[in-house]
Structure 1
Amino acid sequence: MNQPSELEVKYKKMYPIFILICSILILYTSLLVGFSLNTITGLILLLVSLLMLTRTVAVITQNEIQMRNLLGMTVKVYSYTPDQIVVANNNIYVNDKKVISGWWADINIQEVKAFFLQIQEEN
């Protein structure tokens, strides 16, 4: 069984879809009423929701977890060894520090555990 060399964690779909619906409602209201500050707010929310639907929150490689922003840039890197990783309660911990939360990240626990087992077998 050939596992990927990195695992991408995306945002949960419910948050960006909610933001997308809100931005469409704001833009529709702005279309009816006329240009206002809410038009800019609607455009910003539309952009944020589309980026959340397409970008990844984190990329897990064999020796580090890279946290990414909405522009796709790596903003924080957590280095680890396989014995420092704990996957519990839909969260990923490195050295007892919560790195990825299941509240906003779409974590497939079976896939993550299989990925970490593969890493342990290779080492």
Structure 2
Amino acid sequence: MRIQLTSIYVDDQRAALAFYTDVLGFTTHHDIPLGDDFWLTVVSPDAPDGPELLLEPSGHPAVKPYRDALVEDGIPLAQFAVDDVESEYQRLTGLGVTFTQPPTDIGPAVVAVLDDTCGNLIQLIAPKTPA
């Protein structure tokens, strides 16, 4: 068993695609029209055949209260691994990305939390190599 696809709800699929590709650096994998929406997935350029992230429309009535509660409590909806959180923080803040938590050493890893501009908080994490 392996993870092949996971979803993140977004307010605007086209804006989300621009943020996730142009800013975060993912690449478009699928962009298939489905009525008013799209089957829109991105992948890491480091693993083009790896897990896909579906940028799913947030129209279901349960999505807004769920995401609002997570954001209010500062809980990230997803977590992305990076090699160096501080470097990504500097790169992304230079592109205008808002962070709700700067790079923070939590013991076994360094984390930071950003606002994806699409209704979600996203955590970046770089696990530390055991000494």
- TM-score, normalization: structure 2? 0.25
Would you tell me which structure has more strand in proportion to its own residues? Answer: 2
What TM-score do you get using the length of structure 1 for normalisation?
Answer: 0.26
Please tell me whether Structure 1 or Structure 2 has the larger radius of gyration of its CA atoms. 1
Q: 1 or 2, which has the higher helix percentage?
A: 1
